[in-house]
Amino acid sequence: MKLLRSFTMATAVLLTLAAGQVMAQSKEVAAASTIEDIKKRGAIRVGFSTFVPWAMRDTKGEFVGFEIEVARKLAEDNGWKLELIPTAWDGIIPALLAKKFDVIIGGMSATPKRSQTINFSVPYEYSTITMAANKKLAPGWSKFEDFNKSDVTLVVRRGSSNVEWMKEHFPKATFRYFDDDAQAFQEVMNGNAHGVVSAEPKPSLWSLSNADVLYKPFGDEQFNYYPAGFGVRKGDPDFLTFLNTWVQLHMANGWLPKRQKYWFQTDNWFGEVENNPFAKK
| CATH value at residue 166 | 3.40.190.10
Q: Tell me what pLDDT residue 273 has.
A: 84
Q: Tell me what pLDDT residue 25 has.
A: 43
- pLDDT beyond 50 at 53: yes
Sign of CA dihedral 176, 179, 184, 190: negative
Query: Quick one: 60 and 87 in the same domain?
Result: yes
Query: Quick one: 85 and 220 in the same domain?
Result: no
Inside any domain, residue 53 = yes
Q: What is the pLDDT of residues 63-83, one digit of tens each?
A: 999 999 999 999 999 999 999
In angstroms, rounded to a whole number, what is the distance separating the alpha carbons of residues 28 and 1?
40
Instruction: Give residue 220's domain range.
Output: 128-225
Task: Give the residue-averaged pLDDT of 215-229.
Answer: 90
Domains in the chain, number? 2
In angstroms, rounded to a whole number, what is the distance separating the alpha carbons of residues 129 and 133?
14
Query: Quick one: 102 and 163 in the same domain?
Result: no
pTM of the entire predicted model:
0.71
Hey, which bits of the chain come out as E strands? Answer: 43-48, 56-57, 63-64, 81-86, 103-104, 119-120, 125-134, 153-157, 174-178, 195-199, 214-215, 223-228, 231-232
Q: Which of 25, 2, 71, 27 is nearest to 230 (CA)?
A: 71
Inside any domain, residue 277 = no
Query: Quick one: 245 and 109 in the same domain?
Result: yes
Query: Quick one: 196 and 133 in the same domain?
Result: yes
For 170, residues 6+ apart whose C-beta sits below 8 A from its C-beta are 144, 147, 148, 152, 154
Cβ(223)–Cβ(184) below 8 Å: no
Residue scoring higher pLDDT (209 or 84): 84
Query: Quick one: 74 and 115 in the same domain?
Result: yes
Buried b (16+ CB within 10 A) or exposed e, 180-196: bbbebbbbbbeeebbbb
Q: Tell me what pLDDT residue 280 has.
A: 56
Size (the chain), residues: 281
Cβ(93)–Cβ(231) below 8 Å: yes
Query: Quick one: 38 and 172 in the same domain?
Result: no
Which helix H or strand E contains 200, and what residues bound it? none
In angstroms, rounded to a whole number, what is the distance separating the alpha carbons of residues 154 and 131?
10
Inside any domain, residue 156 = yes
Antiparallel, parallel or unpaired: β 119-120 and 231-232: antiparallel
Query: Quick one: 43 and 169 in the same domain?
Result: no
